Amino acid sequence: MKKLKYLLLKSFSPKGVSTRPKNTTIPANARSFYDFKLKSIEGKEIDFSIYTGKKVLIVNTASECGYTPQYDELQHLHEAHGSKVTLLGFPANNFGGQEPGTNTEIGAFCRKNFGVTFQLFGKVDVTDNELYKWLSDENQNGWNSEAPTWNFCKYLINEKGELVKYYSSAVNPMSDEILKML
């Protein structure tokens, strides 16, 4: 019970931001962000090397969460700042069973209710997905051990493919904390 209370308090912290320390070195044998290949929500394999030289914001999403309205803000961020940052959404059913749908249902829900046009990927398990393991293992990314604690946690990758920020669910996509990094 203490662990659950800690996780809930941590995920709802007003600040909810972790930053890559200066002079962080990534292990020589570490996998690069650009090495990943994952399936889109439509089932097409996407090679992450296409994101080389771009900032990328990764978000684990859910359709039945109190944070689901963040889809609106994510879409707004995509439309207003898409030339500065690429959004990648990863539906996940890890927290509260709040993403029960199929990939087809999720895609339709996001388009109909929020006009989502940014890239969505197939539903993942954020506790057992190769990308999320990389994002939350400091031995792989060089500094961060923050795994998603709820839906709509965000990770910012810089133009070199380095993880530079972690944002909790409570951090709004159009917040100053995110916009100042673009």
Catalytic, out of 26, 56, 65, 164: 65
C-beta atoms surrounding 95 within 10 Å: 21
Burial of 174 (0-12, 13-18, 19+ CB in 10 A): middle
Catalytic residue list contains 65: yes
Distances (CA, A) of 21 to 37, 45, 142, 143, 156: 27, 33, 10, 7, 14
Amino acid, single-letter form, for residue 40: S
Tokens for 111?
A: 């388009």
Q: Which residues are catalytic?
A: 65
